[in-house]
Amino acid sequence: MKKTALITGISGQDGAYLAKLLLNKNYKVIGSDRRSSRASLWRLKRLGIEKKVIMEELELSELYDIKRLVQKYKFNEIYNLGAQSFVKSSFNSPLYTSNVTGTSVLKILETIREINPKTKFYQASSSEMYGKVVEKIQNENTNFNPQSPYAIAKVFGHYTTKLYRESYNIFAVSGILFNHESPLRGEEFVTRKITLGLVKIIKGDLKCLELGNIYAKRDWGYAKEYVEAIWKMLQQKKPEDFVISTGKTFSVKQFINETLKFLKINGKWIGKGLNERLINKRNGKTIIKINPKFFRPAEVDILIGDSSKAHKVLKWKPRVKLKELVKIMLESELKFYN
């Protein structure tokens, strides 16, 4: 029997990769999208699957939209990837973020409990929940210490998922995914901002790229690999949460330096603090500078994940290292840039 799955947030980075993976496994894939005057399914188009998924309208903050969909399809699996996922914006729109990213999880789980409790549920939890870390390396048992309205909303979704699993016997799990990037990453996130920005500079379409805290460190993996782990979590006998990460951490500045190497830009860092900048040694021009506009009211300085439970139970391991991730992103940037 063909399985039917709902992916909320199918138009996003992970939604697109997961849809492709499920289609390859012969699922019937329903993707939900919210109404928008500039709706774009460019990621699904890029992967050649926009006509292979059934699109339904769903605004995550709207309980009736969720009920309508769950009533219409007898979903075997629901992957809740939809969210206001940009940490910086969550400081400007905290209420909106808590609704879309946080309480929507409760709406979906309550709907599953009421209408079809056999549906398996995946919640996209985040390493941002660790925030100002209380342990050097974070695993499934590390306490959370969130530093943004986004992270607080994710903590709410995380514990709600646990509650529904433990109280109502629903197969509900959270994947605590550390940062994962790809050519399909949104342009506002720092890795994509850097790869696209530096390609614009070499094409002569941008003079200088402005960034915030280049000393923040993240455990960066490859999104295409991470959605395999997401799927595996729902195929287990027992519902459990998993950390998904590479176990290595790099600063934003190190990510920039890898990008420079690949693009063969001969750059030199000069200055300190707000005056730190990168000059192009070929012509002496500043190509990267700091703009405090991109700082956050509270920062997550460093994250490193321990995904040994996933290695053991899911038989999942990351393969792509930072250098290769940069290469994958830049090759795509150069191919599609116009």
Chain-centre distance for alpha carbon 93: 19
Instruction: Show the binding pattern over residues 24-43: x = contacts ligand NAP (CB under 6 A), - = does not.
Output: ----------x-x-------
Which amino acid does the sequence have at 250?
F
**Which residue in the block uniquely carries the two structure tokens 């959270």?**
174
Per-residue x/- mask for ligand F7E, residues 63 to 102, rule CB under 6 A? Answer: ----------------------x-xx--------------
**278 phi, psi to nearest 5 deg:** -110, 125
Residue 320 binds ligand NAP (CB under 6 A): no
Least Cβ distance, residue 323 to ligand F7E (angstroms): 18
Interface residue with ligand F7E among 93, 137, 294, 308 (CB under 6 A) is 294
CB of 37 to ligand NAP, least distance (A): 11
Q: What is the SS3 assignment for 219-277? A: CCEEHHHHHHHHHHHCCCCCCCCEEECCCCCEEHHHHHHHHHHHHCCCEEEECCHHHCE
Min dist CB 42 to ligand NAP, Å, is 9
CA dihedral for 80, 226, 150, 33, sign (positive or negative): negative
Q: Pick out residues in 97-116 that bind ligand NAP (CB under 6 A).
A: 100
Task: Identify what 73 binds: ligand F7E, ligand NAP, none; CB under 5 to 8 Å per kind.
Answer: none
Cα distances (angstroms) measured from residue 305 to each of 16, 54, 130, 258: 24, 35, 10, 21
43 touching ligand F7E, by CB under 6 A: no
Listed ranges 130-138, 179-187, 258-266, 301-309: which one lies at the site for ligand NAP (CB under 6 A): 179-187
Residue that is written with structure tokens 């390493």 in the block: 127
Question: What is the rounded CA–CA span in Å between residue 160 and residue 163?
Answer: 5
* Interface with ligand NAP (CB under 6 A): 9, 11-15, 34, 36, 58-61, 81-85, 100, 124, 126, 177, 179-180, 186
